[in-house]
Amino acid sequence: MGSRTFRAVVVLLLALLVAPAQAASAAPFTPGSPGLGDPYFPLAGNGGYDVVHYSLVFAYDPATRLFDGTATITATATQDLSRFDLDLRGFEIGRLTVNGAAAAFTRDGQELIITTAAGLPAGSVFTVVVGYAGVPEVITDPDGSIEGFVPTEDGAFVVGEPQGSPGWYPANDNPRDKATYDFTATVPAGLTVLANGVLAARTESAGHTTFVWRATSPMAPYLATATLGRFDLTQYTLSSGIPAYVAIDPRLPTGNVLRKLPDIVEFYASIYGPYPFEAVGAIVDDAPDVGYSLETQTKPVFYRMPDEETLAHELSHMWYGDSVTLTEWPDIWLHEGFATWSEWIWSEHLGHKSAHNWFKTLYNTPPQDTAFWTPPPGNPGSPAFLFNGTIYYRGAMTLQALREKIGDAAFFEIMRRWASEHRYGNVTTPQFVALAEQVSGQQLDQFFEVWLYRPEKPTVW
């Protein structure tokens, strides 16, 4: 503390000696950093500002795969900014303005680097408009899966975890920068667009349909969707008053699983606390090339008709993943372990296999089966293992082992407080450990060390 003050005084004296004429002038405006330093995706997101709202307007034609969009981004500068980046992959930029004035820009990989005519003072709110067009690039992840604005036979399957959003809109693509969104999407008549939030308008004109969706709760950029194609859309209201939108690709075999959605949501609300968002639902598409489903906020998107476990899994993510979101990607077990354990508690609630028995079945996996036990859920080790089975299964086993160690009363209090105290926020594993210790009154360092960080099968905890 003392040495820092001393250094500041020396710097100030030197500044006065060297350049007395400039001593009174403001510090220079500086560029925002090109990334936020995530251990796995260091360039995802950008420094120097915080997005408040995205307004995404676009037209898309599945026949040409041409996307023509205008993004209006409202943000607050968090430093005196001379320059800042957005994340965007591909596309030709048509116009780019900041506060209504044309701004210079360059491209470097996923960085769209914008220099404003005048600097943006810290604390000021500014508006960026980006006109962009082209065929969206599908993004391949470190684990080989694809994401972004992925074409399907009749439209597009739109998913962004962990880095697909810049494949269809300019974003501050980091889970720490949550914002509200609205979407205005125009497609050929006969197609339906399903984006996050509530359907505000649907209008027809000249062979096209325009859908307006409003997402009014804070959302991490990777959870945005605007999946489109042929869909049968059903709207209803849960008994809690929340509007539900269920869209099913008519090519899929019909099933009854989506009828369970209200019961699943109401069950989770009873144990985790109130449903966090303005809408709920499901988008059931036919996208075999994608091969995974995602908890896009308010409306999880499924690549095929889900089974009941998968439906429950994605809906539970509304609490753990979407509302309560990791700060950095290596903490992904805070999403996937929680959602997998949520499948088990739904099964237990129905009187089917209990969470204890799910745990027991998996715990019987021999220690030599290192592919099952490694990497440990708290440290995937590489972005290629973010969605590895251990993150899901050992992550869920961690929660069940915790439940059995501290008892149901403390465990469910932890789950509820985790959801309510961090609603719309970002979290870390040490915060979860601290809450578990506080509520249970137990010292749990060793427990979490064994379950989350040791590569071998836990034996004593």
Contact residues for Zn ion, defined by CB under 5 A: 336, 339
To Zn ion, the closest distance from the beta carbon of 379 in angstroms equals: 18
To Zn ion, the closest distance from the beta carbon of 409 in angstroms equals: 27
To Zn ion, the closest distance from the beta carbon of 338 in angstroms equals: 9
To Zn ion, the closest distance from the beta carbon of 314 in angstroms equals: 7
Cα(377)–Cα(363) distance, integer angstroms: 15
To Zn ion, the closest distance from the beta carbon of 294 in angstroms equals: 8
Residue in the shown chain whose Cβ atom is closest to Zn ion? 339
- Of 173 and 314, the one with the shorter C-beta distance to Zn ion is 314
- Of 44 and 339, the one with the shorter C-beta distance to Zn ion is 339
H-type alpha helices, 283-388: 308-316, 333-349, 355-363, 370-373
- Of 88 and 386, the one with the shorter C-beta distance to Zn ion is 386
In this structure, are residues 327 and 280 in contact, taking their beta carbons and an 8 Å threshold? no
- Of 139 and 339, the one with the shorter C-beta distance to Zn ion is 339
| 183 C-beta neighbours (distance < 10 Å), count | 24
To Zn ion, the closest distance from the beta carbon of 272 in angstroms equals: 15
To Zn ion, the closest distance from the beta carbon of 59 in angstroms equals: 32
> Who contacts 437 (Cβ-Cβ below 8 Å, separation ≥6)?
443, 444
In this structure, are residues 183 and 171 in contact, taking their beta carbons and an 8 Å threshold? no
> Under DSSP, is residue 173 helix (H, G, I), strand (E, B) or coil?
coil
- Of 247 and 339, the one with the shorter C-beta distance to Zn ion is 339
Cα(420)–Cα(414) distance, integer angstroms: 10
Cα(247)–Cα(281) distance, integer angstroms: 8
- Of 285 and 336, the one with the shorter C-beta distance to Zn ion is 336
- Of 337 and 458, the one with the shorter C-beta distance to Zn ion is 337
In this structure, are residues 188 and 155 in contact, taking their beta carbons and an 8 Å threshold? no
The two structure tokens encoding residue 426: 């970002």
The rounded Cα 448 to chain-centroid distance in angstroms is: 25
The two structure tokens encoding residue 411: 């465990």
Cα(157)–Cα(166) distance, integer angstroms: 15
